[in-house]
Structure 1
């Protein structure tokens, strides 16, 4: 059975405290959702503001295959704004719990049904598809909930949605609730919140009980503890519920996760399933050994399935198999005694509380192998001109193979200008700076700065470090150290 996906990242997800997306950011996310096969995109809430309406209009103008919806209360003024935005459908949200009916709306059950029916009629008269969402359905009287839905079907509502608005369902109660509602002769969808960390589990139970549509947000963002996590739910359906499927291109999941994280500024916890940075990272020696022999030993899915790559982490729990694999990736072949010595040295470093990076690994391995490198490039001098009304400009003097070279560059800041002064030289043009990280090692304005970078040339990636009180010098030294490593290799 094919399960349809309604993504509400642009509406419910944007209600995450501190998140406010620009029209361009919304369009980028919507375009990616369309690209990866989402069936329904809730683009926003048209009643919210003029800016929100402009964002929705930009999305509806694209002619996506996905159905574009706006959130709407059961009020003509809301629906009129939806019509102005030229959406295909409305997510018509109608409270159905006595708590909401009496305390929030100060009305009665009968008046609530009339309000719902009138709103559906108004939508259908104006050519809109209607998904009626029963707000706080998980705390509603089920018989009354059925009555609201049956009335909605009589008035030509297209889809019915059960909302666990405050996340109180459990997998068992979710299955029971949807089992009691799956015979209403209309597609049934599930919208869960994650207040108790059960949104994905409750959504999967609803699917098993008859729901044919799920509501999600990318990275599980949303108010309070968030909504059903898109990536966790999609991969779980694909791998754990073989009788069900979706139209989502699973290999694109990591890309849209990173896009939403960058656009919203909402940090993804490292241990988050599927998209967290540690989801396919291994440090334990036993695990690394098993993974190298057969990845299924300690991974339920391959990282490539969702657009990821496996990582072996350097640390005190590491074993020699994972270490040897990482050394080979760095182009270093060692014998058994050398491998054991490098492993012991790394564990000594980790026991001191230090995070072991590829730069540390390179230094330790060089020491064990007694490699003395002859660097082709040497930094002689860096000069910076920068100010409020001056474009940052850098001149860099370096020596390459005993030839002194002076070059200049500009950038958005002094570090960028200094690196650009190097990158414009022919020797550096095919080298890409793919990662840049800065730490202050000591306190105070005279703190030592530790700059760690990653450079890529073709299919080879190297790390390098520069440590100086001056961030510009540290950055340039790290960059040149990395280039020297690439040239050696």
Structure 2
């Protein structure tokens, strides 16, 4: 039996503080998760709001391969909402720890919870729903009560059972033993739902599978309440590559799906996050990079292409000759030993000042040392901005692109956004450029501070970084954007 994956990005993941998705955005993520190959998509909580109801209904009617699930309490109105939204199944939870029982149902006993759960499960089956039943906060509950609660749930018609580590207090050893015990007691499929409050969600989930779990609950990028849920990408890759346990996940879609979720939820993935973080396949150290270029397995446990991404070599104060030569080869340049020594020294000088070395910096250094004069394909001739309390920020720009003058205007949420939008419109006939990231730092203090703007631009598969430094943040941003364009436009 292949391990089943229930993805809760659209339910528990959307409960991440500050995350709120529209119906259209939820559908986009659901379609991506379906292409990824998850077995169950927990699309939200149908009873929560009209928007949630419509999102689940839209996803349920989208013709996806995955089972579409709605979260539900042991309440008939939750069940009706899920069924009316055409969900295939519900993940129904009942409080199982004494803390949760007394807080959520004051005056109710454990026996009352069992009775309410049985009635709710029987009603859900009458409404034609697949029922996955879980005891909320099970990891802090009396295990003998969990067994009793689950037995009544199965007798009432529950199709699957879930053990929930709601506040992330389990350890891998406990996860293993608990799943093993549940498998010995029940013939229906058993799942594990883990949170990352102590940073153990991935380990706990892996050990739950080792203990016999038939299904796991995970979220893309580890999104979820508080510290998040077990990260889908981490759990799947650990299971498949370290333990030889297969899933139906299309691993080449992991990185594209991660980036889509990052973009739509606006929750930035930490650069050092395993598998999908920006630094996961990025190398700078000269000694490491030199060995990596001879054999990628020296400093990479898996190939980046496996998860749909590419290796990146960046330069800084740890840069070595090998990595510089690779980047110069991509530029079409070759240096003598003395020139290479000078190029390395200049790159390291920027790094020693605590600055990030951008692609534009490298090109400038290389071309300066090699005494190569390269005509810029894009030049800024004029820029004007109109902005005010009652005025939509508007920018007009005049560029020279491959010798031809182009004038365009754009609006935005602010003057920087308006200026960038105007430039993007001006160059649309020459290249389809995407602004991947925008970062600004104030280098000095005061209202006349020197600001350092770094942008990442993308054209096709190529991504470059460029810098602009001015006391005027608008001009610094435009300068950085145009530097990046000059590296991307042929």
Q: Alignment RMSD, CA only?
A: 2.7
**Larger deviation, residues 164-173 vs 477-486:** 477-486
Question: In 1, are the aligned partners of 2:16 and 2:228 still within 8 Å (CA)?
Answer: yes
Cα distance between partner residues in 1 of 2:40 and 2:378: 55
- Equivalent position of 2:211 in the other structure: 209
- Equivalent position of 1:416 in the other structure: 420
- Equivalent position of 1:265 in the other structure: 266
**Larger deviation, residues 138-147 vs 434-443:** 434-443
For structure 2, the 5+ residue unaligned runs are 413-417
Question: In 1, are the aligned partners of 2:383 and 2:397 still within 8 Å (CA)?
Answer: yes
Normalising by structure 2, we get a TM-score of 0.90
Cα distance between partner residues in 1 of 2:460 and 2:9: 36
What SS does the corresponding residue of 1:411 show, helix, strand or coil?
A: strand
Do the aligned partners of residues 67 and 445 (structure 1) sit closer, same or farther apart at CA in structure 2, a change above 3 Å counting? same
Question: In 2, are the aligned partners of 1:217 and 1:230 still within 8 Å (CA)?
Answer: yes
Question: In 2, are the aligned partners of 1:380 and 1:399 still within 8 Å (CA)?
Answer: no
Cα distance between partner residues in 1 of 2:459 and 2:161: 53
Cα distance between partner residues in 2 of 1:376 and 1:91: 57
**Larger deviation, residues 26-35 vs 413-422:** 413-422
Q: How does 1:228-239 map to 2 (within 5 A)?
A: 228-239=230-241
What SS does the corresponding residue of 2:326 show, helix, strand or coil?
A: helix
Do the aligned partners of residues 316 and 118 (structure 1) sit closer, same or farther apart at CA in structure 2, a change above 3 Å counting? same
**Cα shift readout 1:291-326 (whole Å, capped 9, x = no counterpart):** 111111111111111112111221222222222222
Question: In 2, are the aligned partners of 1:394 and 1:417 still within 8 Å (CA)?
Answer: no
What SS does the corresponding residue of 1:160 show, helix, strand or coil?
A: strand
- Equivalent position of 1:140 in the other structure: 141
Cα distance between partner residues in 1 of 2:452 and 2:292: 33
**Cα shift readout 1:157-204 (whole Å, capped 9, x = no counterpart):** 100111111111111111111111112111010000111110110111
Do the aligned partners of residues 435 and 375 (structure 1) sit closer, same or farther apart at CA in structure 2, a change above 3 Å counting? same
Residues 1:40 and 2:40 are matched in the alignment: yes
Q: How does 1:23-422 map to 2 (within 5 A)?
A: 23-105=23-105, 106-183=107-184, 184-242=186-244, 244-375=245-376, 379-384=380-385, 388=390, 392=394, 394-396=396-398, 398=400, 406-413=405-412, 414-416=418-420, 418-420=422-424, 422=426
**Larger deviation, residues 60-69 vs 459-468:** 459-468
Question: In 1, are the aligned partners of 2:410 and 2:425 still within 8 Å (CA)?
Answer: no
Do the aligned partners of residues 8 and 455 (structure 1) sit closer, same or farther apart at CA in structure 2, a change above 3 Å counting? closer
- How far did residue 470 of structure 1 move? 4.5
Do the aligned partners of residues 346 and 7 (structure 1) sit closer, same or farther apart at CA in structure 2, a change above 3 Å counting? same
- Equivalent position of 2:415 in the other structure: none
Cα distance between partner residues in 2 of 1:458 and 1:162: 44
Do the aligned partners of residues 148 and 292 (structure 1) sit closer, same or farther apart at CA in structure 2, a change above 3 Å counting? same
What SS does the corresponding residue of 2:163 show, helix, strand or coil?
A: strand
Do the aligned partners of residues 438 and 293 (structure 1) sit closer, same or farther apart at CA in structure 2, a change above 3 Å counting? same
What SS does the corresponding residue of 2:183 show, helix, strand or coil?
A: coil
- How far did residue 102 of structure 1 move? 3.8
Question: In 2, are the aligned partners of 1:392 and 1:417 still within 8 Å (CA)?
Answer: no
Do the aligned partners of residues 396 and 196 (structure 1) sit closer, same or farther apart at CA in structure 2, a change above 3 Å counting? same
**Larger deviation, residues 307-316 vs 406-415:** 406-415
Question: In 2, are the aligned partners of 1:330 and 1:462 still within 8 Å (CA)?
Answer: no
What SS does the corresponding residue of 2:287 show, helix, strand or coil?
A: helix
- How far did residue 53 of structure 1 move? 1.1
- How far did residue 347 of structure 1 move? 1.6
Question: In 1, are the aligned partners of 2:4 and 2:247 still within 8 Å (CA)?
Answer: yes
Do the aligned partners of residues 111 and 350 (structure 1) sit closer, same or farther apart at CA in structure 2, a change above 3 Å counting? same
Cα distance between partner residues in 1 of 2:378 and 2:158: 71
Do the aligned partners of residues 459 and 417 (structure 1) sit closer, same or farther apart at CA in structure 2, a change above 3 Å counting? closer
**Cα shift readout 1:372-411 (whole Å, capped 9, x = no counterpart):** 345576544344566655783525264966xxx5432122
Question: In 1, are the aligned partners of 2:443 and 2:449 still within 8 Å (CA)?
Answer: yes
What SS does the corresponding residue of 1:182 show, helix, strand or coil?
A: helix
Cα distance between partner residues in 1 of 2:206 and 2:405: 63
**Cα shift readout 1:39-64 (whole Å, capped 9, x = no counterpart):** 11111112212222122111112122
- How far did residue 474 of structure 1 move? 4.7
- How far did residue 124 of structure 1 move? 1.0
Do the aligned partners of residues 84 and 299 (structure 1) sit closer, same or farther apart at CA in structure 2, a change above 3 Å counting? same
Cα distance between partner residues in 1 of 2:424 and 2:358: 25
- How far did residue 35 of structure 1 move? 1.6
Do the aligned partners of residues 475 and 418 (structure 1) sit closer, same or farther apart at CA in structure 2, a change above 3 Å counting? farther
